[in-house]
Structure 1
Amino acid sequence: MEHIRRFMPFRIAGPTLSGLWYAYLWMMLGALFLSLLLKWSPLEETSLSTFTYVIHALSLLIGSFVSGKRSERKGWYQGAITGILYAILLFVISFLALDSTFKGGDFFYFIPAFLIGAIGGIFGKNARKN
C-alpha cells in the first residue's frame, strides 16, 4: 500500500467523497471488465443488465464500506449518504449522456442504493480499528 501512496500522494479526507471515489473507481473497473467480456466472449448485449446491476451493487458496497470506515461515527449514515449520492450521480449521468427522462419508477432505485450503502457503512465502521 505504501507504493501506491508514493505515486498518488493525495488523500480525500471526507468519508462521503472518498466513498464515492472508490465506488466510481470500482464501477469503472467493472465496466471495463464487462466490455472486455463482451468483446472476447459470446455474451450478448441483451444479457448485460444483470451483470450491470451486480457491478453497481458491489461498487456501491465497496464505496460505502470505505465511507463507513473513514467516518468518526454513524457509519450507516455515511454509507447511506454515499449510496444516495451514487444513485443521484448515476441518474444525472444517464440523463445527460443518454438524453433519457426520469420516470416515476426510477426513484425506486434509491431504496436499494440506500440499503446497500447503509449495510456497507455498518461493516466499514465495524472494521475500523479504534
Structure 2
Amino acid sequence: MVMRRFTALLYGWITIFLLMLVSSFILALIIRFSEMGESTLHWLTFGLGIVYVFAGGIFAGIKGKEKGWMLGALTGLGYSLFIFLYQFLAYNQLFDGQQWLYHGLFLTAAILGGITGVNFQGNQE
C-alpha cells in the first residue's frame, strides 16, 4: 500500500517536471527567435504551471487508485518543497507573499488533479 502511494507520487512529480522541461525548451525558443520578451510570458508560465501540477495530480491519482486528495496534496507539496529548496539553496531567497499565493494555488490544483485521477478509474478492478 505504501509502496503504491510512493510510486504514484513519483509518477506525479516526474510528470510535472517532464512537462516543465519540454515547455521551458519551447518557451526559450520562442523568446530566442521572436521579439517576445521574458516579462510577457509571466502569466503564460504561471498558467502552464497550474496545468502541469494538475496533470501531475491526475497521474498520481490514477496510479494510486485511492485517496486522491492526499496523493494530490503530497504531489503539490513535494513540488513546492523542491522549488523552495532550489530557490533557497541556489539564490538564498525565501518565498515572498506572492509566491506563497502561487504555491497555494499549485497545491489546490494538485489536490483537484488527484481527486480527478482517482475518479478516472471508475469501478474497474
Task: Establish whether TM, by shorter chain, passes 0.5.
Answer: yes
Q: Does 2:87 correspond to 1:100?
A: no
Q: Does 2:35 correspond to 1:42?
A: yes
More helix by share: 2
Out of 60, 64, 67, the residue aligned to residue 60 of structure 2 is: 67
Secondary structure of 1:102's counterpart equals coil
Out of 79, 91, 103, the residue aligned to residue 86 of structure 1 is: 79
Residue of structure 2 equivalent to 1:55: 48
Out of 78, 99, 103, the residue aligned to residue 110 of structure 1 is: 103
Secondary structure of 1:81's counterpart equals helix
Give RMSD over aligned pairs: 2.0
- Give the drift of 1:104: 4.8
User: What's the CA shift string for 1:79-119, capped at 9, x where partnerless?
Assistant: 12101111111121122233323335533333212210011
Residue of structure 2 equivalent to 1:27: 20
Number of residue pairs aligned between Structure 1 and Structure 2: 119
- For 1:49 and 1:80, the matched residues in 2 are separated by 25
**When the two structures are superposed, what TM-score results if normalisation uses the length of structure 2?**
0.83
Structure 1 gap segments, 5+ residues each:
1-12
- For 2:50 and 2:95, the matched residues in 1 are separated by 21
User: What is the letter of the counterpart of residue 114 of structure 1?
Assistant: L
User: What is the letter of the counterpart of residue 108 of structure 2?
Assistant: L
**When the two structures are superposed, what TM-score results if normalisation uses the length of structure 1?**
0.81
Retained in 2: the 8 A contact 1:64–1:117? yes
Structure 2 gap segments, 5+ residues each:
1-5
